[in-house]
Structure 1
Amino acid sequence: MKLLQHLRSYFVPGIILFLYTCLLIGTYLYEHHLLLTDTSQKVISRWTNELSRMDMIVEKTINDQDQTRIEDELLFVSTDLDLKTYLLLDATGKILYANHAIWRGSNAAEVIDTFSPMFQHQVVNAASFSTQVDYERSLLTIYYPLQSAHAAFGKYPQIIYLEYDLYPAIAAADNVFKSRFILSWGIVSLLLLVVLGLTYLSFLKPIKILINSIGKNTVPIPSFWIADELAVLQQCLLQHQQQQNRLIKQLKDNEQRWLFAIDSTRNGIWDWNIASRDVFLSDRWKEMLGFRPEEIADSFTAWKERLHPDEADHVLAALQSFLDGETDQFELLHRLRHKDGHYLWILDRGMIIAWDNAGCPTRMIGTHMDVSEDINNQQTLAHLSSYDSLTNLVNRNSLMELLKKAVHVAHATNSYSALLCLDLDNFKIINDALGHHIGDRLLVQLATRLSDMFAKQTVARLSGDEFVILLNNIGQNEASATTQALMIAGELRHVIAASFNIDGRQLHVSASVGIHLINTVMELNAEELLRRVEMAMFAAKENGRDGCVVYTAELEQRTNQNLLLQNDLRNAINQQQLMLYYQPIVQRDGKIVAAEALLRWYHPKLGFVSPAEFIPVAEHSGLIIELSRWVIAEACRFINSLAAKNCVIPRISINISARQFNHIDFVPSFLSAIAEFQVAPAQLQLELTEHLLLTDLSVIQDKFEALRQAGIAVAIDDFGTGYSSLSYLQHLSLTQLKIDQSFVKQIGCSHKADAIVSTIVNMAHALELQVVAEGVETPEQRQFLLNVGCDSFQGFLWSKPVPAASFTELLTQEFLQPEHGNQ
């Protein structure tokens, strides 16, 4: 392992040195090639000028019949010692003039190896000179056809053939090049070594020293070369180590205090590892049953065998039901056999504290309290039969009796009462993400708030996160009673909206409230009252949560319709009744850069069903997950169809519900789906509402980061309508904020409305997020958004949501003009 680490430490420098060497060699070869080309071109240029001059001399010589001028010119050019061959040939290749007199009268092909008669004819026919450079022999060859009108006659020169030795010119230029190359790259290499040395002294060496100092509670003395940031880091590291030591000490102290507190309560402690079946039984637990610590084994069997025969099956069934998640809590009153043979009444409480990756419980802890004396006095049994064990509020059984009395009181006093049923929104997300123990503590805090608010009224816990409040004598007529009930429900929601502090976490929840009036002539039993008020509560959830709904006969009818709608929705996918519409998202210049995929349902009898009607039904019934999977697959198929048509593919945005996003395997299943369709992650974007951010940051942060690393963009939809903390925005891997259309519609209505939109845009840009405005319908809204720097727009001003075929036609337009959607 040390050898591998040692080799790895030299790997990066080795790679850098190799790349630098490759760059040096490549630069040298490239520039040397340019040198050869440039040198040969200069020689060619000089000799073409000389040959052109000879052409004019030959023409004048023929005209004047004075051959001495050609001889003189030959003597002149022969002074260049690098000139190897200079021949004037007639049409047959016979040498008429040459820089060596011995060649005159000979055939050029016989005395010059490199001369080609065929090439001579080609050059003459082309009437253009030709040059050939042989870099291996450093030889320049030129065939230069003469332009004289007499060149075609055998006794006159037709072409000039020249061979020139390039080696001296190339050698001289090469010497200069090598000197300059070595000097320049030597300076670069020296500077690079200086930079690497400073980097090592200022960063690498101090970091290595800093790593070696970890755990030693010492800080190396900063040197002249060390960077200021590393010096600060050294001090921070020491402070962190000191703080860690303090926290460890505090943890040990707290552990001792906890053990002392447990011992003081005189309760027996048990700790059960469900997977291994190992059990820890505290000394106090054994003492309660009359045993010394060594007299009874720490095992599940030791507890099971001491259960009362009449209660054993019930206790084990209740335990299994709790482990299966069918009940919210484990609290039982049962009997255990004492060492002497008699039975003790034990109040057995337990909670799950660990789960495996599949969500199955793996560890459970609890306490045994000896309540024999209380049971003998019947106080404990009476309390447990009437009150909820977790919150100490009235339970369902007691509430039913109180409701019966409330109906009689309303008849007797001729006054109205009201029944309020509240249910926390998205409470399951908190349980799934943070654990049931956190959820239970939140319920206890909520129960305390409700008890304080309705100290003189009845507050009951029905089950889970559902509570009922009975308000007596709130009005003498229906109108006043309704007004009073709604006002109280509003105050109730405000109380619940205040944050809950649990283990340092700030949790924000909202509640949906149903209201049912108890009037003077009503003849309903308690069960029917609860059914109706719960129906109103569920209607509040379907309306978007965090609201109030009063029960009416119309609500009863609508609920029945929703039930029918839910049944039809289950068959909509298989019967191909669903489709996706696409609404373009345009840049400031009108170019389509994205589109939001919007689900539409065409019912065979009802026609198009509004998403506002069937989406809440899907959310409430759990069908939203199946619908979302269909939407993802359909969007991928649409992207592939655009690719097959060679269309420009904009990014497609898909809305994902908080319920689906918080599913344990959402990210891997989503990535698997798009991989199956071979869709590039960059072609998709997920839109999530702010309700998702009501959960703990650490729970969703990992999913956001996994999506970012996969290349999936994530946007916050309907921004500004939720209740999340803005601090979440700086910790999540977001790419875009979409301003809710409710803010866009108010543009121009007031200075405050304009200021809100402007603030959202500026804040998003400060966080390096793109901004999309939804619901843009007027030129005035568009101009205002342009002025405040909004990046993209979506709305009827450009286009309504359209079917896939119509959207494909829109993509053929380079830009969408405003008011396109109204045409």
Structure 2
Amino acid sequence: MLRKLSLAVLLPLCMLTLYLVLVIGEYLFESDQVRAELAQRQSTLIKQQLFRMQNVVQSAQALQDVERIEQEVSLAALDMGTMVYILVDADSRIRFANHTVWRDSNAMQVIDGYDATRDRAVVQAFLPQILVNLERLTIQAYYPVLPQYGGAVDLIYLEADLAPLVAEASAKLQQRFMRVWGLGGLLLIGFTFILYFLLIRPFQILSEAAKQVGTSSFSTSIPWSSSEVLSLQASLQQVHERLSRAVKQLNDSELRWLFAVEGSRNGIWDWDISTGEVFLSDRWKEMIGYAPDELAGVFQTWEARLHPDDRDIVLDALQEYVSGKSKEFESVHRLRHREGHYVWVLDRGMLVDWDPQGRPTRMIGIHMDVSESAKNHAAINELVDQSVTGRKMLPDVFMARLSQFLTQGNSSGQWGSLLLVEVDRLGLVATLNSHELERLLTQVAARLSSYFTENITVGRLESGDFVLLAKDLAIDASVAARRALALASELRQVIARPFHYGHHHFELSANVGICLLDSIETLDPALVMRRAELATLSAKRPGQAGCAFYHAEMDLRQSRDEQLQQELQTALQQDSMTLMFQPVMNAHSELVSAEVLTRWYRTDGEFIPPAEFVALAEQGGMIAELDFWVANRVCQFIQTSHAQGWSLPTLTLNISAFSFGQADFVDALIALVKEHGIAPHQLGIELNEAALLMQPQFVAERVSKLVDAGIGIVLDHFGSGSSALSCLANQPLVAVKLDMSCIDSLAAMPQRVKALIVSAQQFNLHVVAKGVESPQHYQAFVEFGCDGYQGYLFSRALNQADFIQLVCPRPLLRSV
């Protein structure tokens, strides 16, 4: 009830109630105070009178002047309005009194308020007592007298009435409060009227105006009021203006959205998960041959039209997304057309609403026709229709368009570009079978073809990579290059969005090579493709961020790279490469392990840096062969050392992520270890994060085999900027090696280095500092708590003979 009261009623009522409570409280307080003051004043007067009477009685008794005592008693009783005034002896017998009938009677029998016990206590202590009883409005006084002879008076007892005085004072108090109440009431009424016009009425006006915010009838007219109310009025006016603009923008956005949906020719669906109702747009129905007024708006309408081969996969992907197991729902599947054939669509949806318990209640998505796309009709048909075992080549329609663009040019004189997209499929081959891999690449192609504009043609190569022809980028070459680079970055972001296939979730990465195309220059399509391939190889190199342009020096570099790859293959076959050993020491300068390094000198003596020949091995597909060659040589060295009686520390090999991703590399490595009889923990491998962040099932299987074989795993380049704690938490590592960049961070950001070390030690992992070349480096890493140290301060990389001498000093060798 109170919640519905108007402020105009509630506020005055509260003020009146508060005023009455304050006034009544003040009156009661002052009334009690008046009574207390009257009692105190009368007590003082009585005490003075009794003190005088005490002296009179004592002197009169000494002279035996009874008449004087009687006169004094009579006068005292009359002056103070006393109710009872008596003088008693030791037996409580009344000797003198203001009432003659009481004389010679026992005080206890004739006087109600008299207390013989208190009488004796006062006489014995010879201390007077004056008692105030505010309930009876009386004062009782016991005043002792020194008796002069037996039977003489020894106590004066007095009982006075306060009622007349209290009544008189209360009357005066009431009169005063009536005047105060009346004046206060008038002021309260006046204040209430002022409050009503200054506050309540403006609030009523604003309340009514608030109901009309955003409408044409909104109006606030407050001629004058407090600054706060006027500020609220201005704020409400601003809200009205913003809401009006927002409503207009919302209407405009709705119109634009409708235009965008119709313009994109994509189907829209809106699924109420709790009821099963589904809104299907006209375009959605048109895709599968139905009119706008056909098809029921229920979930079964979509479910029943799924291709039998796609049904389980699509429904599983949808269920995983709705249940929160996957981050997004995206699927390429087939829907049955009204005429009986199937249409390929890219279906993408997103949850937009949840109930209070956190359960999803609404999902909105789009359908895109990727089999009948106007811009890539033939290319996508070629992509989708080809079987796993069938022919895979660049679609003829794409080659025709590329050749036409290169030979005929562009009448507008604008530059174009060819972008070769190489999807990183490391680990996919081991996780998916050939059919599943093909379906995944089909999803990639569908996403690309549905994402880009009519100005871009998408095709797919025999190797499974994708190629895009972008036309009409710009007339100026530098502008065209910037737009091509932006397109390449966008390509990598589109591919990086998670893919879901069955129970697998993939986060792919890609490298993009860019070849700019001048409309004036006539080039052979095969040459353009070759240039794009060279740019893609360059995009894989560190510092390229996955994108690179073709330039003429790549041809020269490619010639040298091809020659070096041939020589590297020969060096592996002839065992002409060299192994080096980099010692790892502990804080006591004791050798605990060694990292095996590979060095390559060409026949002419030129030294090829490891980073260069490893990159060449990866590009030429020889990296697994190189890593296995190193492992074989190290196993032979361990076996020979054991036969000679030399006790070697743990030797660790650098294994490329590409080798680790090969289907049979780990099995072959374990077989090699068993063949040479290598003891557990005698051999270890060093992997970077890329190898450990591939598909979990794929990594777990290989890591488990290595651990079972006694091969320890070390995470290399920890702290390079991309290391994730998931590698430390989820993998059975034995140690981590800090990245060389930590040396530079010692001076600039020592707290970063310390945080890396502490994070690894939280998982009970040994931490090895690399690149320790000065005592200052060593001291800093010691303070941070590193367990091992590797660098030129302790030893350079040693050849086999020098390493044996370090492990087994020469006197021991002579004895052997």
- TM-score for the superposition, normalised by structure 2: 0.50
Q: Which has the larger radius of gyration?
A: 2
